[in-house]
Structure 1
Amino acid sequence: MSTYVYGITRASGTKFPAELTGVGQRPVRAVEESGLAAIVSDAPEELTPKRRELLAHQTVLGHAGAAQTVLPMRFGSVSDDDGAVSEVLAERADHFRERLDALENTVEYNVKATHDEEAVLHRVMADNPALRAASEANRAAGGGTYDERLRFGEQVAGAVKEREAEDAHLLREALEPLANDVSPGPESTGWLANDSFLVDRDAAQRFVAALDEFQKAQPHLELRVSGPLPPYSFVG
């Protein structure tokens, strides 16, 4: 039977309560090798990313991570069997130990940002005298010609695009000093910024407070914050 892998930690003290179950409601156990332990269970025959299974994955990692540092695996990580897991632990033991040391007592916060469309248009117009002048000229001319309206729209779109880059920089500039590391997420047309921050547990409250202050100072931005999470983006 295939083995589902939740994460990797140090072998000492890897114990799980009998009532803790993972995906497919399978009992959780540890595969130990070279002083390391892979947190695993039997993999269900059909694994689908349903909410119940995703929560089970997170629950197992949350339990393990409360006691010691864990290198979390993404949902759906499956190996052939326990023997194959042991082989990987042995082959990459030095790398896993280095990552465990580097991620000791840390959590991840993922921060995504987008613009409030109406608010950013007000901000762009307020900050750009040339755009205000063009808008007023078009209004005085009864709206302006088609070409004038098209050109004005392109100018506004360009100014918003520049503002996206500026705001992404400002966000990272505000949060990076409070983090040990930053991992940019995949680019998406839905977000102007998508960054994950590796934060010491002891600094988590200061990080969240800095986020709140940034949001108050930049009301034209909408932030979506996920965390504290296991440090998925920094396992390597």
Structure 2
Amino acid sequence: MAVYVYSITSKDHPMRLDDLHGVGDPPGRLRTVTAGVLCAVVSDAPEELRPRRRDVQAHQEVQERLMADGAVLPLRFGMTAEDDEAVRGALEDNAGEYQEQLQNLDGATEYNLKVSWEEEALLRQILLESDEIRELNTATRGGSGTPEMSLTLGELVAQEAEARQQALAAGVVEALRPYARDESVSPPGGRDFLNVSFLVQDDEEEMFLATGISLANQLGEDCEFRLRGPLPPYSFV
């Protein structure tokens, strides 16, 4: 029977999972598959697996419980294997890599940061600080501009906005980097111009968070600074 795989951890992990349940309806019973010094937390896979709220929550609760007691390699929602033997084979075949990753994640958690810049505020700053763009904008709004000037204005504003966002993103990451063991940048979505995850060591967490608060205050209300964590270290598995 197909199995749903939640996490990989060490065989000596406490595994305090008795009061938790797995995905599916009815919920699957959590169990472990062991190979050498490694262990995978699994349950029977439901025939139809979709990201329903209850299943996503069950998946996340397993990760958080395991993470509270030691290093864990959290697998993203939806990972399945043919059977227990397939899981055991994967643990055996990749033992060295998994052990190295567990060692790297020991005593660390993930924090994700997304930052966006309020569009009107960014435009005001560009107009204030760029003479060329301000003059083109005045001419265009006053009716004396040409279609070519409007096109040039749009291109210049877009280029300037991107340059400022990239510079700010680099500065934010640089300020937080000293307190993180690793970082993983993802493509930003929507209005965000920065989407980055940090692997933060437990003894650096206080300074990391304090620096994040300081950065948010410096950016002010014109920027939305969204720092989430601690999270299972999905970005570093």
User: TM-score, normalised to structure 2's length?
Assistant: 0.90
Compared CA separation, residues 151 and 222, structure 1 to 2 (3 A): same
Q: Confirm or deny: 8 A CA contact 1:32 1:86 kept in the other structure.
A: yes
Q: Confirm or deny: 8 A CA contact 1:14 1:30 kept in the other structure.
A: no
Alpha-carbon distance in structure 2 between the residues aligned to 1:178 and 1:142 = 52
Q: Confirm or deny: 8 A CA contact 2:199 2:236 kept in the other structure.
A: yes
CA RMSD, Structure 1 to Structure 2 (Å): 1.9
Q: Confirm or deny: 8 A CA contact 1:5 1:41 kept in the other structure.
A: yes
Structure-2 residue corresponding to 1:19: 19
Query: 1:61-110: per-residue Cα shift (whole Å, max 9, x none)?
Result: 11111111101101101011111111111111111111111111100111
Alpha-carbon distance in structure 1 between the residues aligned to 2:110 and 2:17 = 26
Alpha-carbon distance in structure 2 between the residues aligned to 1:186 and 1:160 = 17
Structure-2 residue corresponding to 1:95: 97
Gaps of 5+ in 1: none
Greater mean deviation of Cα atoms: 1-10 or 187-196 = 187-196
Structure-1 residue corresponding to 2:33: 31
Structure-1 residue corresponding to 2:180: 179
Greater mean deviation of Cα atoms: 10-19 or 204-213 = 10-19
Structure-2 residue corresponding to 1:66: 68
Letter in 2 for 1:195: V
Letter in 1 for 2:155: E
% identity of equivalent residues: 40
User: TM-score, normalised to structure 1's length?
Assistant: 0.91
Letter in 1 for 2:233: P
Paired residue total: 234
Deviation at 1:157, TM superposition (A): 2.0
Query: 1:19-53: per-residue Cα shift (whole Å, max 9, x none)?
Result: 21011121111111111110111111111111211
Letter in 2 for 1:166: A
Structure-2 residue corresponding to 1:7: 7
Structure-2 residue corresponding to 1:163: 164
Deviation at 1:223, TM superposition (A): 2.4
Q: Confirm or deny: 8 A CA contact 2:117 2:191 kept in the other structure.
A: no
Query: 1:118-149: per-residue Cα shift (whole Å, max 9, x none)?
Result: 1111222223233234334556x545344333
> What is the DSSP-based 3-state SS (H/G/I as helix, E as strand, rest coil) of the residue aligned with 1:227?
strand
